[in-house]
Structure 1
Amino acid sequence: MANFVLVAGARLGAWAWDDVVPQLRAAGHGVYPLTLSGLADKQGLPAGQQTHVQDIVDEVVRRDLHEVVLVGHSYAGVPVGQAAGRIGDRLQRVVFVDSSVPADGVPFSAVFPDGGVGLKTTLGENGGFWPVAPAAHFDGHGLTAEQIGRIVAGATPHPGATLTEPAELVRRLAELPATYILCVLGGAEPSEDVAALLVSEHWRRAELETGHWPMFSQPDELARLLLGEVGQ
């Protein structure tokens, strides 16, 4: 039995995995969708980048989980990738779902074309938070109007320090047993940093014919891919 710890991307909480969890549990696995500090049901908690990393590590340790499959979507790939290196032999695999990946000393904001300059302006104008995206932001990603409505209604502003503070790697990502799931409607090829990691013998690539939020647009297909990573 594996233990899946599921972490959704920016502005989202544990609720984002509601359509994926039943299939994983039905297959006999432990499933622990996690809300990071400052988001969803944990709004109001102060959070920086290392807070989010510690949220994930603490969940694994508190529940005494082993054979852990850490799953990080979008922004969450950054703290998940760091946490994967900190849980030692508890880790079975880390799965990046159309996500960013951490680089030592580099913040998530660095992935923006302008290096995060515009993001910092936005944070300053919104009390230090990244505001909820409008419905139009989700167009072209294989989502129905109902699914977009769920995302927008459930999203909460994202604590800005988690986006601008640097990652701190204690283990090289290329050494981790990892899978990268590319959602091809968001781009047919992975980013350069992900492509460089995929040459590692420890990494493999999978694809979904959908957009950037597969837990909403293709939850059954995403669950099947995750089960495939543990041999089911």
Structure 2
Amino acid sequence: MTAFVLVSGMFTGTHVWQDTAARLTAAGAEAHPVALTGLDGPSTATGPGIDLEAHIADVLAVIDSVAATTDRKIVLVGHDYGIHPALGAADRRADRVERIVYLDSAMPRDGLPPLAAVPDQSLRERLAGDAGDGGALPPPAHDEWGRWGSTAGVPAPALDRLTALAAPQPLGTLLQPLTLTGAVHSVPTTGVLCTGNGTSIEMVQLLVGFGDPALRALVDPRVTFFELATGHWPMLSCPAELTDVLLRAAAGEGHRLAPVDAAEPPPHLRPFLLDVPEAPRERHGNVDLYLPDAEEPRPAVLFVHGGPVPVDARPTPRDWPTLAGYARMAADGGAVGAVVDHRLHDLADYERAAADVAAAVELVRADPRVDADRVALWFFSGGGPITADWLDAPPAWLRCLAATYPILAPLPNWGLSGGTRFHPARAVANAGTLPVVLTRVGREVPEIAATVEEFLAAAEKCGADIEVVDVPHGHHSFETVDPTDESRDAVRRAMRSVLDRVGRPDKA
């Protein structure tokens, strides 16, 4: 006995829900797609009056109409951008909405505009500069939908129709901040994650482990999750499976995240798997140096953490056991170990994070205790996309590039699909003779593992110098979550390979 109120995303209208709505109705539910002002058709008008508040009013009108004609429970479904007007409406009708379904959408925050959820930084900056002119963002061309989310699984005729019926997105809907009273926080929620678009329950659980305050609410038992093995438009690619998930979500089913045990350190703060000797450490701005016992200049290895890491995370990555452990290993092997804290706090931060890494490289190379012509860079996890800068045009002093459980191609929902920057799987074609030491874990998150395989296929095609260090039973962050002999051997092997390539006394 459920009435589903369906709110579509950017550029789209009620037409995207056609198959799903029919299946929900056939299952005995009601389905009410919301016609959003300025979007429900290819030629609807735009103007300065069409903003987020106008779309919230559209959703409220449907909720009130449903509530006036039936006693069914209302489940509010927001896809993509649609979650913003859905949340705004639910905040004002919290007593009428039984559950909110985030359908492959971001997690909007009070006081931020929907534009904040767009990962393309250059687009965000350009649109923010157009505030107040009443314009609209043109819809994607047929071959441009991938910029806004994976089209995996969408049949060709459905993609043709999506393009034909797409409407310009009024800028006011993206630029007006979402304002919430907090009443919506009492409404149970369900996240439906489309794995083909780069998100999974396992990845969300990893992010919760970092301690981001914005994600703490996700371990509430009223919050459930489902996965769909498809791209960003499941109502077009798998309407039957989506219908089943929506009905189950309405019934309160779904996966619940494991709560963070306050008595145990989170995975990234557990002890490093090797007992490495201490080394003198110096702090220079956002870079820590771990110094070997040597008088003459030595090679250096700069370790680059992953992310995104919450801006208020404490301790910061350079004090995490894994990064400090690797840096001490490098110092014990006769090289200068360096760790940089960079500003990858959001998917839109890759440019400034890359700039932080480049500045750290110059700081390390300028130190008189470092042989500036013998340097290695070592990247982890979400820091992997930054390797593209160095693969694309390796400097002569870069003797080795290492990557451990890295992301080596942008995930579809990152908005970084164009060009080679931050796309190592494309940049590796220009790596030349640069040695790459890649540590691959056998129990990797599937979405990340796919990027590694894409990189290796590209590397093989161009004949790049790649050494793969496998940890068959290792998970992401295996240095603190899998302290096994297999894991220890892999860390030692990777370190030996890197130090051999920069040159050092045979001590590791």
TM-score (norm 1): 0.89
- Structure 1 residues 80 and 194 mapped into 2: Cα distance closer, same or farther (>3 Å)? farther
Q: Counterpart of 2:225?
A: 205
Q: The residue matched to 1:99 in structure 2 has which SS? A: coil
Per-residue deviation, 1:56: 0.7
The answer to whether the Cα contact below 8 Å between 2:134 and 2:172 also exists between their aligned partners in 1 is no
Match of 2:178 among 157, 164, 167: 167
Counterpart CA distance in 2 for 1:218 and 1:109 is 28
Write the mapping of 1:7-22 to structure 2, written as runs, cut at 5 A.
7-22=7-22
Query: Alignment identity in percent?
Result: 33
Shift of 1:95: 0.5
Alpha-carbon shift at residue 230 of structure 1 (Å)? 2.7
The gaps in structure 2 that reach 5 residues or longer are 254-508
Q: Using a 3 Å threshold, how does the CA distance of structure 1 residues 154 and 197 change in structure 2: closer, same or farther? A: farther
What is the CA–CA distance in structure 2 between the aligned matches of 1:197 and 1:130, rounded to whole Å? 33
Q: Given that residues 7 and 79 in structure 2 are in contact (C-alpha distance below 8 angstroms), is that contact kept between their aligned partners in structure 1?
A: yes
Q: Is the alpha carbon distance of 1:141 and 1:194 closer, same or farther for their aligned partners in structure 2, counting shifts above 3 Å? A: farther
Q: Please list the CA deviations of residues 103-131 of structure 1 after superposition, one character each: whole Å capped at 9, or x if unmatched.
A: 1110011123428213335x57x961011
> What secondary structure is seen at the aligned counterpart in 2 of 1:4?
strand
Decide which moves more: 139-148 or 89-98. 139-148
| Superposed displacement of residue 171, structure 1 | 2.1
Alpha-carbon separation, structure 2, partners of 1:78 and 1:214: 19
Structure 1: tracts of 5 or more residues without a match: none
Shift of 1:195: 4.3
Q: Do the aligned residues in 2 keep the contact of 1:176 with 1:203 (CA within 8 Å)? A: no
Counterpart Cα distance in 2 of 1:160 and 1:196: 31
Deviation at 1:200, TM superposition (A): 2.2
| Cα gap change, 1:174 to 1:117, in 2 (>3 Å) | same
Q: Quote the residue 1:229 is aligned against.
A: 249
Question: Structure 1 CA distance, aligned partners of 2:106 and 2:34?
Answer: 18
1:144 shift after superposition:
2.5
How far apart, CA to CA, are the structure 1 residues paired with 2:33 and 2:63? 11
Q: Give the corresponding residue for 2:426.
A: none
Q: Distance in 2 between matches of 1:193 and 1:211?
A: 28
One of 151, 155, 160 as aligned partner of 1:149 = 160
Residue 127 of structure 2 corresponds to which residue in structure 1?
A: 119
State the alpha-carbon separation in 2 of the partners of residues 50 and 82 from structure 1.
8
The answer on 1:3 being equivalent to 2:3 is yes
Contact 1:79–1:102 at 8 Å: present in 2 too?
no
Residue 55 (structure 1) aligns with = 58
Q: Aligned to 1:198, what secondary structure does the other structure show?
A: helix
Do the aligned residues in 2 keep the contact of 1:183 with 1:211 (CA within 8 Å)?
A: yes
Structure 1 range deviating more: 3-12 or 38-47 = 38-47
Q: Which has the higher contact order (CA 8 A, sep 6+)?
A: 1
Summarize deviations over 1:59-82 as a string: whole Å, max 9, x none: 111332551100000000111112
**Contact 1:173 1:197 (8 Å CA) reproduced:** no
The residue that corresponds to 1:185 in the other structure is 196
Is contact 2:94-2:186 (8 Å) kept? no
Do structure 1's residue 31 and structure 2's residue 31 form an aligned pair?
A: yes
1:93 aligns to what? 99
Matched letter for residue 104 of structure 2: D
Q: What RMSD over aligned residues (CA atoms) do the two structures have, in Å?
A: 2.4
Quote the offset at 1:43 in angstroms. 2.0
Across the two proteins, how many residue pairs are aligned to each other?
230
Partner of 1:130: 137
Cα displacement string for residues 46-65 of structure 1 (whole angstroms, at most 9, x for unaligned residues): 41111111111111113325
Which residue of 66, 90, 115 maps to 1:84? Answer: 90
